[in-house]
Amino acid sequence: VGQVPHREIWKYYKIADVLWLLSKSDFEGTPNVLQEAFYAKVPSIVSNIDAMKNIVDSKTGIILETFNSNELAKKTQDLLKDKVKYNLIRNNAYKKLILIESKNKKIIDIFK
């Protein structure tokens, strides 16, 4: 869909089952899209780089071990099949975001 205006981003989160955030670069900061996904309760599968691991851990998402499409496909399928794990990750990520927000500007306010 290309670039989406911030005011429209939430309609995409509402229909998303999972967020893939893949990068080979370890020179990025922590992406805001992860906090948005946490707020929208969309589980995240991310690359194994420090920028992602600043916010995602085994309770709040899935960190890939490799940069391999087979691993990504398998972990995505496993997550979508395991509704207990899926909902646990969604809820843990949301709770973590609320904790982060209590110390910083609220994510929802960025889009007003």
Question: How many whole angstroms separate alpha carbon 35 and alpha carbon 97?
Answer: 7
Burial class of residue 42, CB neighbours in 10 A (0-12, 13-18, 19+)? buried
Cβ–Cβ < 8 Å for 61, 35: no
More confident residue, 16 or 24: 16
Whose CA is closest to 60, among 76, 78, 48, 44? 44
Q: Which phi and psi (to 5°) does residue 20 adopt?
A: -100, 125
**Residue-wise pLDDT tens digits, 20-63:** 999 887 777 778 889 999 999 999 999 999 888 888 999 999 99
**Residue-wise pLDDT tens digits, 85-104:** 999 999 999 999 988 777 76
Whole-model pTM? Answer: 0.84
Q: Which phi and psi (to 5°) does residue 57 adopt?
A: -135, -175
The per-residue pLDDT for 106 is: 60
- Judged by DSSP in three states, 46 sits in strand
